[in-house]
Amino acid sequence: MIGLLLCAAIVSGLPDDDLAVSRRKVIADDGVALALYRYSPLATGRPPVLLIADFGFGRSAFDWHGAGLARWLARHGRTVYVAEVRGQGKASVAGWTPAEVLQYDLPAIAAAIPEPTFEVVAHGWAGTLALAASVKEWKGRVGKVVSLSTPAEFMVPSRLALAVLKNGGKIASLGGDPEGAHIFELLFAMNGLFSRDQLSSLRSEMVTDFGPRASRALLQWMTSGDLTLGTGESLKARLKAYDRPTIQFLGLANGWANPELCGVLREVSAAKVKLRVFSRFDYLSEDYSHLSLLQGENAPREIFAHALKFLNEDAP
Amino acid sequence: MRAAVIALLLCGCATFHWQPLPATAQAHRAKTADGWELAMVRYPATVPSTGRPVLLVHGIAANARNMDLDEHHSLARWLASQGREAWTLSLRGTGDSDEADGKDRKSGYSFDAFWQLDLPAAVDFVRAMTGAESVDYVGHSMGGMVLYAYLSQGGQGIHAGATLGSPTKLDWGTNSEAMIEKGFGFVPDGWALWTAVGAHAVVGLQGLQAEGPFERLFYVTGNTTVESWKRLIAYGTADISGGVASQFVKLVVTANFVSADGEKDFRRDLAHVTTPVMVVAARLDRLALTPAVYDGYRALGGPKEWLLISRANGALAEYGHMDLVVGERASTEVWTPVLQFFNRHAAKDHP
């Protein structure tokens, strides 16, 4: 048994009459407590969708005071699970590494989902691990995948990102002064359409610091160009076997999971990857950044709708 | 009569922005193996020489003035000021180079003519005129693709190169690709797409609408000025040969960067390139998207370097497609790293 389901509790009284939201505490094999939220619509005939946010973000990336992909998908008839792996939201631990997330957390999360198969929305660097999990830890359980800027080639995204990681990955503290806020915007929210207050509250309340151990591990992953998994495998080698039907959305203004690092997924994997690069020339309201892909003012119309259309298409 | 008046007004509007070349510019003509004369402009170094001459090649629907817009926006003159003799080239059918005459110089030539005939002629000409064994090279957009094709097929005489916003794949599910497919696809063989005429027609409209379609596609407002942009489209544009257009349509539809007959796979053969190349991309380039440019970097054999111009990497503004050559700070934020790359490789011998 990879993980142990400890308890289920109704946690949400948020205003969706037909939407029950519950949280489960899931314990990974190494004892770390994770969180799994379930959004249950009244009627659904499709597989559930598991949402994995990038490191430093958590459930709130998909459900920010009622706004976001979790409730949007649920309102469109999908059962939705949102995972919080170590370092995210309720699952925060003092130190973590990406390899541990893949080795312990993702198997435990999947074990806590009762449905035999599920679809995945994967975001950012943590999302890349979800893609990798579909090859082994989640083998046979994953249907389609929506990739929201999941890197498939690994390098430090920018000099600014390097400086932030070298400084312990204090991304939640970036809003403390104008310079920090500017850095946050360049990395995660460049040219995004948020109201000023919304971005400010997203920055201060949604994001979690990586901490020194995770920062070192992320930096090692990015600078070495690969990640050694707990099994001793290479992540790049694992991704070669990735074969899930995938649609990949890339924001041109993404400064954390750069589109050029993500777009190579179709080159390095066995998957059939449908690509959409979003930019303002595409009659879209913005060029889309790491955060606005999830919480941009027009994301429901310009991003979520395309994701759902893909998920609802019958497999060829 | 009304049409003639409108045409005159449009031409007048475009002419209003004209900037002549300086007295230091020396006009030359190189002849290709198939008899076309190509316009080249030489800028001798204005300080003691610091290295090889640099050949500059423009992109699609453009001419040499892309690399030499005016006193303040000229990669050519900037290189000369840094001790590098600079040569601009107008590819066939553009700028002051020969146009098709329907007799000896057939219209409808493809992209292959650029790398198979024009570039070898230009490289040989510069080598002959300067005595240099090899040249360094900067190509913007399609000008970088010309370098890729040339090097991938064993082209000689380039010591080191830099490509600025040069894609090797155009299938990213964007509207700019749909625009190429639909806009270029209808041009009959032997015809040309009148992009220069179209550009001249809209010079007067530029800057009237904040963040209009041209700004969105080609440059970032605040990085390139409206006046620079007007100059660029007034005298830096050219028509597109039907053969070139159809080759770009194929690039969009098939995602294969290949010769017109499909026999030569440039992208695949880039793996054999040993000439050092710096690949430069702009974060907000909505025409040559960063993934499209990075694809070329991945395909190159090496030595190679990747340079992403963005505020997160220290630039003062984000860059779009044309900002790389006419942006207000391009000399410090784009051209300087390129020159440093050339200098790093200046003394090295590469197999």
- Alpha helix positions (H), A241-289: 259-262, 265-268
Mutate to test the interface with B, among A252, A261, A275 (most CBs of B within 10 A): A252
Is A272 at the interface with chain B, CB within 8 A? Answer: no
Of B172, B312, B314, the CB nearest to A275: B172
| pLDDT average, residue stretch A14-20 | 64
| Four-residue CA torsion sign, A220, A223, A229, A232 | negative
Chain B residues touching A161 at Cβ < 8 A: 312
Chain A residues touching B172 at Cβ < 8 A: 250, 263, 275-277
Of B283, B291, B312, the CB nearest to A277: B291
A277:B217 CB<8 A: no
Q: How many domains are there within chain B?
A: 1
Minimal C-alpha gap between A183 and chain B (Å):
8
β-strands A142-148, A246-251 pairing:
parallel
What's the CA gap between B215 and A280, in Å, rounded?
Answer: 10
| pLDDT average, residue stretch B332-340 | 98
Confidence of residue B188 (pLDDT cuts 50, 70, 90): confident
Q: Indicate the domain borders of chain A.
A: 4-312
- Fold observed for domain A4-312: Rossmann fold (3.40.50)
pLDDT above 90 (res A120): yes
pLDDT above 80 (res A107): yes
The fraction of chain A above a pLDDT of 90, given in percent, is 77
Of A259, A281, A282, the CB nearest to B291: A259
Size of interface A-B (CB pairs under 8 A): 87
B290:A157 CB<8 A: no
Per the listing, tokens 């959305």 go with: A249
Predicted pLDDT at A156: 98
pLDDT above 50 (res A6): no
C-alpha distance from residue A269 to each of A121, A169, B111 (Å) = 18, 30, 31
Q: Which CATH number characterizes residue B156's domain?
A: 3.40.50.1820
Predicted pLDDT at B316: 96
B291:A263 CB<8 A: yes
Of A158, A250, A279, the CB nearest to B286: A279
B213:A280 CB<8 A: no
Is A189 at the interface with chain B, CB within 8 A? Answer: no
Confidence of residue A113 (pLDDT cuts 50, 70, 90): very high
Could you say which residues from 129 to 188 on chain A have a Cβ atom under 8 Å away from some Cβ of chain B?
Answer: 153, 157-161, 186-187
Q: Over the Cα atoms of chain B, what is R_g?
A: 19
| pLDDT average, residue stretch B183-190 | 74
Is A43 at the interface with chain B, CB within 8 A? Answer: no
Chain B residues touching A274 at Cβ < 8 A: 173
Of A159, A267, A279, the CB nearest to B313: A159
Predicted pLDDT at B89: 98
pLDDT per residue over B119-164, tens digit each?
Answer: 999 999 999 999 999 999 999 999 999 999 999 999 999 999 999 9
B140, part of any domain? yes
What's the CA gap between A127 and A135, in Å, rounded?
Answer: 13
Confidence of residue A310 (pLDDT cuts 50, 70, 90): very high
pLDDT above 60 (res B3): no
Residue A285's contacts (CB-CB under 8 Å, 6 or more residues apart) are: A193, A296, A297, A298, A302
Predicted pLDDT at A243: 98
Q: B210: alpha, beta or left, given left = phi > 0 and alpha = psi -120 to 50?
A: beta
B351, part of any domain? no
Minimal C-alpha gap between B118 and chain A (Å):
31
Chain B residues touching A267 at Cβ < 8 A: 295, 298
pLDDT per residue over B26-66, tens digit each?
Answer: 999 999 999 999 999 999 999 999 999 999 999 999 999 99
What's the CA gap between B17 and B228, in Å, rounded?
Answer: 9
Residue B246's contacts (CB-CB under 8 Å, 6 or more residues apart) are: B110, B184, B185, B187, B189, B260
A277:B173 CB<8 A: yes
pLDDT per residue over A154-185, tens digit each?
Answer: 999 999 999 999 999 999 888 778 899 999 99
Is A192 at the interface with chain B, CB within 8 A? Answer: no
B173:A274 CB<8 A: yes
Minimal C-alpha gap between B37 and chain A (Å):
37
Of B217, B281, B291, the CB nearest to A250: B291
Q: Could you write out the DSSP letters of every residue in B252-302?
A: HHH---B-TTS--BHHHHGGG--S-EEEEEETT-SSS-HHHHHHHHHH--S
What's the CA gap between A21 and A13, in Å, rounded?
Answer: 8
State which of A63-72, A87-96, A175-184 shows the largest mean pLDDT: A63-72
Chain A residues touching B255 at Cβ < 8 A: none
pLDDT above 80 (res B184): no
B294:A263 CB<8 A: yes
Is B244 at the interface with chain A, CB within 8 A? Answer: no
CB atoms within 10 A of CB A205: 12
Burial of A197 (0-12, 13-18, 19+ CB in 10 A): exposed
Chain B residues touching A187 at Cβ < 8 A: 312
Chain A residues touching B290 at Cβ < 8 A: 252, 258-260
Could you say which residues from 23 to 62 on chain B have a Cβ atom under 8 Å away from some Cβ of chain A?
Answer: none
C-alpha distance from residue B214 to each of A129, B16, B177, B224 (Å) = 39, 20, 15, 12
Q: Which amino acid is at A65?
A: H
Is B337 at the interface with chain A, CB within 8 A? Answer: no
Q: Between residues B92 and A42, which one has the greater pLDDT? A: B92
Instruction: Answer yes or no: are the C-beta atoms of A208 and A92 closer than 8 Å.
Output: yes
Give the pTM. Answer: 0.93
| pLDDT average, residue stretch B277-286 | 96
pLDDT above 80 (res B238): yes
Confidence of residue B196 (pLDDT cuts 50, 70, 90): confident
What's the CA gap between B250 and B181, in Å, rounded?
Answer: 8
Range of weakest confidence among A277-281, B81-85, B120-124:
A277-281
The encoded tokens of residue A26 equal 């899931």
Confidence of residue A11 (pLDDT cuts 50, 70, 90): very low
